[in-house]
């Protein structure tokens, strides 16, 4: 795991977007895992800018979103498919047939989870997975006690997640209590991972995920086991980390980051 601390939310989002853009330029048929949430809006905004200003080409990119609420049809304004269409897809030259989501309104949820796992496999696996983190430590919707080897499945959401996400629904009572999510094992199979977290409200959970023990109580701590995971945070989200000086030194001095400074 590698930790990069940038001064502000905007800087952290810019670095994340530039990292994704670099990966797309290296491999135009990139299989890109995508995340939703408020934190990601700035990343998608910058990717749209890079598409318009620098011709970043999404035409061959294949995407797989991490999760979807159970019971919401794809056109529902709070569905993650709708979020992605509004935040990114409608503003870049992506082929919508190359964008994949678990179908939250599928008649057979277990069969849908198996279908999603095979679709990822058929594309050759995820090259780069983008992640946010929930206050419960979740990645995707892998709530506490999610098995490290778990695959795409239905998961019941915790009260902390309900409290975090329900204000995004016009009527908070309407937020589904279950979601389909890639498993921790599915996520760990990605070749490379970026986790982006910003703001003071994430400082506690970031300290646990990065410097705490690997535990299924904090699903994001499983990322410590991944050989190529970059955690990009702002100063506020990094405020409870013990080894900040070391992380700053790495970003300022390691040649891998030359293109991004
Ligand atoms: C949802 C998503 C997660 C995301 C989290 C963070 O719960 N399922 O993938 O990481 O939101 O949300 P925010 O960026 O709004 O804090």
CA distance 1 to 169: 34
Percent of the chain with pLDDT over 70: 100
CA distance 165 to 161: 6
Dist. CA 35 → ligand 1 center (Å): 7
pLDDT at 163: 94
Q: Which atom of ligand 1 is nearest to the CA of 39?
A: 14
Distance from the Cα of residue 55 to its chain's centroid: 24
The structure tokens listed for 135 are 């206050």
Residues with CB under 6 A from ligand 1: 35-39, 66-67, 132-134, 140-141, 161, 165
Q: What is the pLDDT of residues 176-187, one digit of tens each?
A: 999 999 999 999
Dist. CA 38 → ligand 1 center (Å): 7
* Long-range contacts, 163-169 (Cβ 8 Å, 24+): 164/134, 164/135, 168/78, 169/78
Dist. CA 182 → ligand 1 center (Å): 14
The structure tokens listed for 47 are 């990717």
CA distance 220 to 104: 23
- The residues spanned by each domain of the chain are 2-260
pLDDT at 184: 98
Contact in structure between 1 and 231 (CB atoms under 8 Å): yes
Residue 261 pLDDT more than 90?
Answer: no
pLDDT at 125: 98
CA distance 260 to 39: 20
Dist. CA 255 → ligand 1 center (Å): 31
CA atoms within 13 A on the CB side of 31: 17
Residue 259 pLDDT more than 90?
Answer: no
pLDDT at 9: 98
**Mean local confidence (pLDDT), 145-153:** 98
Residue 65 pLDDT more than 90?
Answer: yes
**Topology annotation, domain 2-260:** Rossmann fold (3.40.50)
Q: What is the pLDDT of residues 71-116, one digit of tens each?
A: 999 999 999 999 999 999 999 999 999 999 999 999 999 999 999 9
Residue 227 pLDDT more than 90?
Answer: yes
**Mean local confidence (pLDDT), 180-205:** 98
Q: What is the pLDDT of residues 12-30, one digit of tens each?
A: 999 999 999 999 999 999 9
Which sign, positive or negative, has the C-alpha torsion 71, 74, 77, 81?
Answer: positive
17 Cβ neighbours under 8 A, 6+ residues apart = 42, 43, 46, 47, 50
The structure tokens listed for 24 are 């797309």
**Mean local confidence (pLDDT), 146-166:** 96
The structure tokens listed for 91 are 């503003």
Nearest to 188 by CA among 165, 219, 153: 219
Q: Which atom of ligand 1 is nearest to the CA of 199?
A: 16
Q: What values do phi and psi take at 221, rounded to 5?
A: -65, -20
pTM: 0.97
Mean pLDDT of the chain: 97
Kindly indicate the confidence band of residue 204, based on its pLDDT and cuts at 50, 70 and 90.
very high
């Amino acid at each position: 795991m590698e930790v990069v601390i940038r001064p502000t939310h905007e800087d952290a989002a810019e670095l994340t977007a530039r990292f994704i853009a670099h990966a797309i330029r290296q491999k135009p048929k990139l299989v890109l895992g995508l995340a939703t949430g408020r934190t990601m809006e700035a990343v998608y905004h910058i990717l749209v800018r890079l598409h318009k200003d620098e011709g970043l080409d999404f035409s061959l990119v294949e995407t797989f979103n991490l999760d979807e609420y159970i019971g919401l049809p794809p056109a529902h304004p709070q569905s993650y498919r709708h979020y992605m269409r509004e935040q990114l897809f409608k503003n870049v030259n992506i082929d919508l047939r190359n964008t994949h989501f678990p179908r939250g309104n599928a008649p057979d949820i277990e069969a849908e989870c198996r279908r999603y796992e095979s679709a990822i496999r058929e594309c050759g696996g995820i090259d780069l997975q983008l992640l946010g983190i929930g206050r419960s430590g979740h990645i995707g919707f892998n709530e506490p006690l999610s098995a490290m080897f778990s695959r795409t499945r239905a998961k019941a959401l915790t009260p902390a997640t309900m409290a975090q996400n329900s204000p995004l629904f016009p009527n908070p009572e309407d937020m589904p209590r279950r979601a389909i999510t890639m498993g921790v094992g599915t996520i760990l199979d990605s070749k490379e991972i970026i986790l982006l977290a910003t703001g003071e409200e994430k400082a506690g959970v970031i300290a646990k995920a990065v410097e705490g023990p690997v535990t299924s109580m904090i699903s994001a701590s499983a990322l410590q086991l991944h050989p190529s995971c970059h955690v990009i945070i702002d100063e506020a989200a990094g405020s409870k980390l013990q080894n900040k000086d070391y992380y700053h030194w790495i970003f300022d001095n390691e040649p891998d980051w030359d293109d991004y400074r």
